[in-house]
Amino acid sequence: MRATFRNLFHTLDVAAFVRKRHDHALSVARWTVILIPMAVAVGSLCAAFLWSLDVATRTRFAHPWLLFLLPVGGFAIGLLYHWMGKSVEGGNNLIVEQIHEPGGGVPLRMAPLIFIGTVATHLFGGSAGREGTAVQLGGSLASATARLFRLDGASVRVLLMAGIAAGFGAVFGTPLAGAVFALEVLAVGRVEYTALVPCLLAAIVGDWTCHAWGILHTTYHIHFASGSTGPLLIAPLLLLKAALAGVAFGLAGLVFAEANHALGGWMKRLIPYGPLRPVVGGLLVIGLVYLFDTRAYLGLGVTAAIPGDPTISSFFGPEIDRWSWALKMLFTVITLSAGFKGGEVTPLFFIGAALGNAVGGLLGAPIDLFAGLGFVAVFAGAANTPLACTIMGIELFGSAHAVPIAVACFVAYLCSGHSGIYLSQRIAVPKRRAHYLPSGVTLREARAPRPREPS
């Protein structure tokens, strides 16, 4: 009798095991069917977007007079969003909010609006990036896919994160960083592991698809050999310099984010009618071009119309450039605060590489290495994503520089405070002991004036 019950128990246990594995296999198959077509679509749109940006940039280089149409183009962008895009003006913050609290979803019209708006911004000379467009393309397509398959709230969160990963991985050619960015950007001090595999799959497929369309990404090289004098453990001076530079990178990210929010809020109060804000911003950008007698800080900053003008690649060279980081920050803050579309990340790459160049010269450190550190660390501080940026640095520059990259990114993250370019981020783990920040508060709420604590 005992043997009979024991055999029955084992039979039931095996049946339960088989049933669980069967359910798991069905879930994997279901998510694969959903994720791969969505990631292919996002990667294809990112490829079309990057191609369009290249055409727009080359057209602006060939016809410099297009800069004078920047206020007109800005008015058209503002009018387009005023008529059709009020529900998607939140951009990346809207997607982050929908991941935290799924509600109405991300409207599909976000994709064409941000695509057109960003290309127009670059065609006429606005200083903006491209990550915002990629993330919003991914988020809007992911939300549409969720509606198509009638997914529940938990599944919608996962799919939106996967959409972010696909867009970010495709537009920069860094799928691992794209996957981790989507998991890390939601909350300060926490990584969302529930979507780990979907984000990795979406980022890889998105990147593959973008490359399949013939899109090539700019490559950057660090020729300095971090371990040329032995293991990094016996080269503490280099890491100390990387940490000091990380402080500067974090403060730069903090200044960029706060300046963007402050000027954007001020312009909204001063000019309530949205389409007029880019007109004013466009006039200010034109004024800056003539004040500093240069067009080097327009557009992405990846290529230049005039040989010798500063670009991201030029900061990896031997020449020291003291102030390009500040000028690019000024051009970009005015452009984005006025309502032009694009993103912050590629300008942050420019600012970071330029600041790394200047700090490296000041500290007597390898210029190309510190340009690379700034490239990723200023972004780490501004976006509160040190892990994703460390992985991005390794993908872009190689694992030989992993330790100084991590030091710079982690220090920059700590020094940027409870601020950032994405105000819908929630604070899961404060960067310092701050009991006045309750768990789950957003960066927007953390920036709001608070009553002074009783002594």
The verdict on 293 and 346 lying in the same domain is yes
Determine the 3-state secondary structure of 341 from DSSP. coil
Average confidence (pLDDT) over 436-445: 80
The verdict on 253 and 196 lying in the same domain is no
The verdict on 57 and 118 lying in the same domain is yes
Residue with tokens 């008015």: 75
Residues 220 and 374: their CA atoms lie apart, in Å, by: 13
The verdict on 161 and 251 lying in the same domain is no
Share of the chain above pLDDT 90, in %: 70
Range of weakest confidence among 104-108, 225-229, 381-385 = 225-229
How big, in percent rounded to 5, are the helix, strand and coil portions of the chain?
70, 0, 30
What is the structure's pLDDT at 298? Answer: 97
What is the structure's pLDDT at 99? Answer: 85
Spell 271-282 as b/e; 16+ CB within 10 A means b: beebbbbbbbbb
CB 324 within 8 A of CB 236: no
The verdict on 241 and 317 lying in the same domain is yes
222 within some domain: no
The verdict on 310 and 202 lying in the same domain is no
What is the structure's pLDDT at 198? Answer: 95
Average confidence (pLDDT) over 293-312: 94
Residues 445 and 177: their CA atoms lie apart, in Å, by: 28
pLDDT in tens, 42-93: 999 999 999 999 999 999 999 999 999 999 999 999 999 999 877 778 888 8
The verdict on 124 and 265 lying in the same domain is no
Is the backbone of residue 301 left (phi > 0), alpha (psi -120 to 50) or beta?
left
pLDDT in tens, 365-392: 999 999 999 999 999 999 999 999 999 9
8 within some domain: no
Range of weakest confidence among 21-35, 140-154, 194-208, 409-423 = 21-35
pLDDT of 436 above 80: no
The verdict on 41 and 159 lying in the same domain is yes
451 within some domain: no
pLDDT of 26 above 90: no
The verdict on 269 and 411 lying in the same domain is yes
441 within some domain: no
23 within some domain: no
pLDDT bucket at 234, cuts 50 / 70 / 90? very low
Range of weakest confidence among 133-142, 324-333, 445-454 = 445-454
Range of weakest confidence among 9-18, 242-251, 335-344 = 9-18
Tell me the CA distances in angstroms from 446 to 90, 190, 386, 430, one per residue in order. 18, 17, 20, 11
438 within some domain: no
What is the structure's pLDDT at 183? Answer: 96
Domain residue limits at 35: 30-213
pLDDT of 425 above 50: yes
The verdict on 416 and 291 lying in the same domain is yes
Q: Please give the span between the terminal C-alpha atoms of the chain, in angstroms, as a whole number.
A: 74
Residues 415 and 250: their CA atoms lie apart, in Å, by: 5
pLDDT of 167 above 70: yes
What is the structure's pLDDT at 336? Answer: 96
pLDDT bucket at 226, cuts 50 / 70 / 90? low
The verdict on 208 and 272 lying in the same domain is no
Residues 133 and 115: their CA atoms lie apart, in Å, by: 6
DSSP 8-state secondary structure symbol assigned to residue 63: -
Residue 204, domain CATH: 1.10.3080.10
The verdict on 377 and 242 lying in the same domain is yes
What is the structure's pLDDT at 85? Answer: 76
271 within some domain: yes
Strand pairing category for 187-188 and 426-427 = parallel
What is the structure's pLDDT at 52? Answer: 96
Number of domains in the chain: 2
Average confidence (pLDDT) over 386-407: 95
Average pLDDT of the chain to the nearest whole number: 89
pLDDT bucket at 246, cuts 50 / 70 / 90? very high
pTM of the shown model: 0.92
450 within some domain: no
Residues 375 and 347: their CA atoms lie apart, in Å, by: 10
223 vs 290 pLDDT, higher one: 290
